[in-house]
Amino acid sequence: MANPKAFMEVKRREVEYRPVEERVKDFNEVENFLFHSPGAVEEQAERCMDCGIPFCHGAGCPLSNVIPEFNELVSRKHYEEALRLLLSTNEFPEFTGRVCPAPCEAACTAGLNDDPVTIREIELAVAEEAFKRGWMSLGVPVERTGRKVAVVGAGPAGLALTAKLNRLGHSVTVFERSNAPGGLLRYGIPDFKLDKGIVRRRVALMRDEGVVFETGVAIGEDMSLNLLRRKFDAVCLCGGSSTPRDLPIPGRDLRGIHFAMDFLSQQNKRVSGEPFDGDEISARGKRVVVIGGGDTGSDCVGTSIRQGAVSVTQIEIMPKPPEGRSEATPWPEWPYQLRTSSSHKEGCERLWNIASKSFVGKNGEVAGIEAVKVEWSYNAKGLPGKFVELPDSGFKLEADLVLLAMGFVGPADKDAYAVAGLEFSERGNIAADCAGRTNLDNVFAAGDIVTGPSLVVRAMANAAQLAATVDGFLKELA
């Protein structure tokens, strides 16, 4: 490193956000990125200790980004070389640099005794510098193999797989049920976390590289899996886990209770000027209760505030995590600890240990939630195990809009895949081996459709593994 003592002399520069009173009035990105301040990125990159055993890209990064090496290059302002190194493992650093929770930073050695390196923002700075200078050059293959691949689903896994297979010379057609490619990146994550212009920029580049996108195509409705198998040498299923977990308690049929993704995708379409089906879901002037304490719930909080909610309350059945890293998840593991998002800081009441028992309504509209408090026992590792309801702890939360953000339970096209003879796991996901092979000879799968709901970066890593499998399969065809 240019300054080998920087990890002792230079303090971590925390992510800065636009002022709350400003950002809640629009859907623009909330972060003020490091690369807007001259010299900040290079100085922060110098904090990397160049560890003998870099846990950041082993135990931390699912993509195995070569983190100490690209930090070294950035610290010396060798951005083009840093880009080449980053792209060797990560197809879309402009996405992960914005939406990844940075498990690499949780595994950073500097974080043992001080603050970890700002790896995520350094990665994003490299990507944006590359787009600005035109270094994200077209990866058009010199020669095509003559093999055709169908990729179903244009989310993080599908796009990452497509980019790799296209670069290997295979002709890839991507089938997407939505109006535009991007999946969760486009229709799930709010614009204030990921501007959709960033997604459109990458998709346009992929089109220039020879990828064909067929949007508005649903497997089982517009085209069968068996037809795809006949038309293409390989079919790769990357449709994600998009069936929302429901809450079948009394009063569920009341109006004003919606799945989180219906709410979020509608707002994303509203921002981009796209039409949407169904009735409008709006938090304006309403008391909003979000059920579910994860990232999707947090996104509902920020979106509700921007729409003009009177109040926002987020409830979670799990106990409140500790403020710092729990002893149950020692370094370099991903820490079990409280996480407060930028949306939470905009004005939200958070309640833990809450179980919803029934919805109550008036004139067919939801008016509140009857709930009870629960108490958790902990397992041998010190993590929550089982809970019991506390007697005489019932209470009511007033609500005009309830958003269910409790995760997802499998692919949306399950019936269409079952008709073709595809097998499923006990959890309802597509059954595939560690290489991504399903029980059908030319059908493969990757991402959340196999693993269940996970991180964008993990879906991309799973897709990278599948690319090698599919490439080997195609090379063996007569």
At residue 374, the 3 state secondary structure works out as strand
**Residues 420 and 226: beta-carbon distance below 8 Å:** yes
Look up residue 158 and give its two tokens.
């599908």
CB distance 309 to 27 below 8 Å: no
DSSP code string of 276-289: --SS----TT-EEE
| 306 in a structural domain | yes
Residue 399 lies in a domain: yes
Question: Rounded distance, CA 230 to CA 223, Å?
Answer: 12
Give the separation between CA 125 and CA 94, rounded to whole angstroms. Answer: 8
Considering the domain architecture, whether residues 418 and 326 belong to the same structural domain is answered as no
Looking up tokens 């035109």 gives: 134
Residue ending a domain, among 404, 424, 455, is 404
User: 356: helix, coil or strand?
Assistant: strand
Residue 248 lies in a domain: no
| CATH code, 217 | 3.50.50.60
157, 420, 431, 468, 471 from 439: Cα distances, Å: 20, 11, 8, 18, 18
Please give the pLDDT value at position 202.
Answer: 98
162 and 45 inside one domain = no
Q: Which residues of 108-131 are buried (b: 16+ CB within 10 A; e: fewer)?
A: bbbbeeeebbbbbbbbbbbbbbbe
Q: How far are the Cα atoms of 52, 261, 275, 399 from residue 55, in angstroms, in the given order?
A: 9, 34, 46, 45
Whether 141 is in a domain gets the answer no
Query: Which amino acid makes up residue 462?
Result: N
Indicate the Cα dihedral angle 464, 466, 472, 473, nearest 10°: -150
Q: What is the pLDDT of residue 138?
A: 75
Q: pLDDT averaged over consecutive 10-residue blocks of the chain (478 residues)?
A: 82 94 97 87 93 91 96 96 96 97 96 94 96 88 95 98 97 97 98 98 97 96 95 97 96 98 97 93 98 97 98 98 94 95 97 98 97 95 94 97 96 91 95 97 97 96 97 92
Which pair of structure tokens corresponds to residue 194? 């990921």
* φ, ψ for residue 198, nearest 5 deg: -65, -40
391 with 272, same domain: the answer is yes
User: H helices then E strands: how many in the chain?
Assistant: 17, 16
pLDDT tens per residue across span 438-467: 999 999 999 999 999 999 999 999 999 999
* Whether 439 and 454 share a structural domain: yes
Asked if residue 399 and residue 265 are part of one domain, the reply reads yes
Number of domains within the chain: 3
In a domain, 81, yes or no: yes
pLDDT at residue number 1: 63
- Residue 400 shares a structural domain with residue 443: no
Report the alpha-carbon distance of residue 297 to residue 291 in Å, rounded.
Answer: 7
**SS3 of residue 390 by DSSP:** coil
Nearest to 304 by CA among 292, 317, 286: 286
Same domain, 275 and 393: yes
Asked whether 149 and 474 are in contact (CB, 8 A), the reply is: yes
Residue 1 lies in a domain: no
Per-residue confidence (pLDDT) for residue 140, from 0 to 100: 84
Asked whether residue 261 falls in the same domain as residue 393, the answer is yes
For residue 138, being part of any structural domain is answered with no
Interatomic CA distance for residues 158 and 177, integer angstroms:
13
Q: Are residues 76 and 161 in the same domain?
A: no
Backbone angles phi, psi at 392, to 5 degrees: 55, 35
Q: Is there a domain that residue 79 lies in?
A: yes
Same domain for 429 and 312, yes or no, is no
Q: Same domain, yes or no, for 361 and 423?
A: no
- The pLDDT value recorded for residue 105 is 97
Peptide bond into 332 cis (omega under 30): yes
> According to the model, what pLDDT value does residue 391 have?
97
Distance CA 325, CA 140 (A): 45
Question: 263 and 365 share a domain?
Answer: yes
Final residue in a domain of this structure, among 363, 381, 404:
404
Handedness of CA 414, 420, 424, 430 (dihedral sign): negative
Residue among 189, 201, 125, 116 at smallest CA distance from 159: 201
| β-pairing verdict for 384-389 and 365-378 | antiparallel
pTM: 0.95
pLDDT per residue as tens digits for the range 168-221: 999 999 999 999 999 999 999 999 999 999 999 999 999 999 999 999 999 999
Residue with tokens 């992960």: 96
Q: Does residue 448 contact residue 241 with C-beta atoms inside 8 Å?
A: yes
Distance CA 398, CA 100 (A): 34
> DSSP string spanning 413-454?
THHHHHHTT--B-TTSSBP--TTSB-SSTTEEE-THHHH-S-
Give the residue among 274, 230, 280 at the shortest CA–CA distance from 258: 280
Domain that holds residue 180: 148-242+409-476
Domain boundary among 379, 404, 429: 404
CATH number at residue 57: 1.10.1060.10
Instruction: Please state, in angstroms and rounded to a whole number, the distance separating the CA atoms of residues 431 and 411.
Output: 12
From CA 168, how far away is CA 143, in angstroms rounded?
9
Cβ count near 253 (within 10 Å):
10
